[in-house]
């Protein structure tokens, strides 16, 4: 079975003490995850060491960075390299989140470079893709996300692709009050897997975990995660609430 993942994206939220308390509350729940299940916490850069320390002996809980540079090293003040993350034993990194694409103009080519550096440093990228509202309303969302995959992923070998997690974000359903239906989520996840199969074959495509990232909550997680091509969620606001995120983790199939 593909790995089922509940990934928390704290974004630019919480003080370090608030983040530590949140992790403590989640750990106190005593969640028991199966071999094919995992919870990942994408925390702000200053909190990576704290989160690593908290989760060091927690079994199937892991820490992720929210971004990394597309440069190996050098005079790039304020940037954080994949090599730095590797030196801290960070195993995951979110790449291409919709906010990074929109607010920091990250192109598909830049994201391809970030993916390469993560893989070179034994970091599993959580690669985000998805369409804004105007693309969805125009009915061209399938070709839009296919282009994102082709331009950022298709230079990778089969072995490299199998080391990546994909997260689909319907940007029009993030923080807008609009919600994608379970059917819409499944349809896009199936399309993404079909695009991967067309280039890498069904066997490889069937091994890739694809997470849903559109306003996942405790109230809709179980239904979403039961979809055949939805392998968990990339969770924003709901991951900042311990009882809420505990229920989301417990909803993994």
Where in the sequence numbering do the catalytic residues fall? Answer: 97, 169
Instruction: Map residue 83 onto helix, strand or coil.
Output: helix
Q: What CA–CA distances, in Å, run from 38 to 2, 35, 74, 159, 204?
A: 11, 8, 34, 21, 20
H helical segments located in the chain = 16-28, 48-55, 82-87, 98-103, 108-120, 133-138, 141-153, 158-161, 182-200, 202-205, 218-225, 242-250
Q: What CA–CA distances, in Å, run from 253 to 91, 227, 244?
A: 23, 10, 17
Instruction: Map residue 224 onto helix, strand or coil.
Output: helix
| CA torsion, ordered 152, 157, 159, 161, to nearest 10 deg | 20
């Amino acid at each position: 079975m593909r790995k089922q993942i509940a990934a928390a994206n704290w974004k630019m939220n919480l003080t370090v003490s608030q983040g530590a308390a949140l992790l403590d509350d989640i750990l106190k729940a005593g969640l028991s995850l199966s071999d094919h299940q995992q919870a990942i916490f994408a925390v702000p850069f200053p909190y990576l060491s704290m989160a690593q320390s908290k989760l060091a002996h927690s079994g199937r809980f892991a820490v992720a960075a929210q971004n990394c540079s597309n440069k190996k090293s050098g005079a790039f003040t304020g940037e954080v390299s994949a090599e730095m993350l590797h030196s801290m034993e960070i195993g995951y990194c979110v790449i291409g989140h919709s906010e990074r694409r929109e607010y920091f103009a990250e192109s598909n080519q830049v994201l391809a470079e970030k993916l390469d550096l993560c893989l070179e440093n034994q970091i599993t990228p959580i690669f985000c893709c998805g369409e804004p509202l105007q693309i969805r309303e125009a009915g061209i969302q399938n070709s839009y996300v296919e282009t994102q995959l082709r331009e950022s992923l298709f230079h990778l070998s089969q072995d490299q692709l199998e080391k990546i997690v994909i997260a689909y974000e319907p940007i029009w359903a993030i923080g807008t009050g609009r919600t994608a239906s379970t059917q819409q989520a499944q349809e896009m996840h199936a399309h993404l897997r079909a695009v991967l199969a067309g280039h890498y074959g069904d066997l490889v495509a069937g091994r890739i975990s694809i997470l849903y990232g559109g306003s996942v909550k405790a109230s809709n997680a179980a239904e979403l995660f039961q979809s055949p091509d939805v392998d968990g969620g990339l969770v924003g606001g709901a991951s900042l609430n311990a009882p809420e995120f505990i229920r989301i983790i417990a909803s993994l199939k």
